[in-house]
Amino acid sequence: MGRPPALPVEDKVWIVLQVLAGSMSAAEAARRNSVSGQTISTWKRQFVEGGTAALAGDRHDPLRHVQQLTREVRQLKIALGEAHVEIRKLRRSPAHRRTGRAARTAARHARRGSNASR
């Protein structure tokens, strides 16, 4: 005989709240939902320790997640700063100025040429 299908998180929360409120015993909850008393105890412990997220199996550490995001933001700031410096260097280079001016001149001539052919 196989394992019964997993209960939805909402059902687990309802069962745990009923047991915590004293509306039904852990043994009664286990019997009604075809799970073991140990399972009910585990759900209660998980719920008290981590709320609904713990029963859903989401066991990531919020502090670790914040630290990871902080590291990522720091790395992105460094990359953004480096890209900004490179752009400023390129814009100030004589080659960029010539290319920019030449491109503007070519575009202006192209517009004049297309207007003259009309």
Write out the DSSP string of the chain: --PPPPPPHHHHHHHHHHHHHTSS-HHHHHHHTT--HHHHHHHHHHHHHHHHHHHTT----HHHHHHHHHHHHHHHHHHHHHHHHHHHHHHHSHHHHHHHHHHHHHHHHHHHHHHHT-
Provide the whole-model pTM. 0.44
Predicted confidence pLDDT, tens digits, the chain (118 residues): 566 678 898 899 899 999 999 999 999 999 999 999 999 999 998 888 877 666 666 556 677 778 888 888 999 899 999 999 988 888 887 776 666 666 777 777 777 776 555 4
